[in-house]
Amino acid sequence: MTLMANPNANLFQKYSGSNPKAAVLVLRLGLAFVFAYAAISAFQTPAAWISYLPHFITGVLSGNTPLHLLSVLQLLLAVWLVVGKFVKMAAVVAALFLLGVILPNFASMLIVFRDVGLLCMAVALFLVA
């Protein structure tokens, strides 16, 4: 009795090897999703996000203004990552954004630990792009 070959084996072999272009695409789109989601959510429910901004920013600008400004920048960064031009520069900006979240909120590592992983994604994107 012979076993039939898996018709998807070639497809799996084709995409399971080293594929830097696919890796860059996944990193770009993954980071873009995160930045877009955070920005849209901050516009919809600013009270859930405002406490993560450093006091030196919220002390200068009143209300939700600093959050909305950062959200616009995050949306622009998300679009930049999706477009895929100057990817290394976009990765640096993403890493700086994430450092700007992690460092002031280091005491809240129970919440920002995910941002450390995202920071690693941004660094990986810089290295492979």
- 57 — pLDDT class (breaks 50, 70, 90): confident
Flag whether 9 is in a domain.
no
| Assessment of whether the complete model's pTM goes beyond 0.75 | yes
How far is it, in rounded angstroms, from Cα 120 to Cα 95?
Answer: 8
Flag whether 63 is in a domain.
yes
| Predicted confidence (pLDDT) at residue 94 exceeds the cutoff of 50 | yes
- 17 — pLDDT class (breaks 50, 70, 90): low
60-82 average pLDDT score: 93
Please give the residue range of the domain that contains residue 113: 20-128
| Tokens 């460092």 found at | 103
Q: Tokens standing for 76?
A: 């622009």
Flag whether 3 is in a domain.
no
**Residue 70 has what pLDDT?**
93
Flag whether 39 is in a domain.
yes
Flag whether 4 is in a domain.
no
**Residue 20 has what pLDDT?**
84
36-51 average pLDDT score: 94
Structural domain count, the chain: 1
Burial of 39 from C-beta contacts in 10 A (0-12 / 13-18 / 19+): buried
Burial of 5 from C-beta contacts in 10 A (0-12 / 13-18 / 19+): exposed
- 20-31 pLDDT, tens digit each: 888 999 999 999
Q: Tokens standing for 13?
A: 């072999």
